[in-house]
Amino acid sequence: MRGVIDPAIAFLVVLLTGIVAGLIFERALRPGWFSRDVANERRGMVTMCLIGMAGSFIGFHLTLLLGLFRTGVLAPFIGAMIGAVAILWIWRWIR
């Protein structure tokens, strides 16, 4: 049965993808010392992980809805990574 994704494994991989993307994004693009100390603007690690998970699920399901799943088993997971980064970037841009 080539091309079949176990739902439990897919859920865990998408969840972990969002968490990792949130952690990396928070570490790489954290606010500078001025905004952190003077302006008191803090972005929590938990918030970034939750935003990353939401983006990961959005990207995963959009990839499945667009029918890119037929091109390979990794396509939805790549969509999950792209979705997590896109939503995190939008979140940072809005904030």
Every domain of the chain and the residues it spans: 12-94
**1-18: pLDDT as tens digits:** 355 678 888 899 999 999
**47-81: pLDDT as tens digits:** 889 999 999 999 999 988 888 766 667 888 889 99
Confidence check: pLDDT of 33 > 90: no
Q: Is the pTM of this model over 0.75?
A: yes
Closest by CA position to 76, among listed 64, 65, 88, 58: 64
Confidence check: pLDDT of 27 > 70: yes
Task: Tell me how far apart the alpha carbons of residues 53 and 47 are, in angstroms, rounded to a whole number.
Answer: 10
pLDDT reported for residue 94:
85
Which DSSP category does 41 fall into?
-
CB of 49 within 8 A of CB of 19?
A: yes
Report how far apart the first and last C-alpha atoms of the chain are (Å, whole number).
45
CB of 82 within 8 A of CB of 68?
A: no
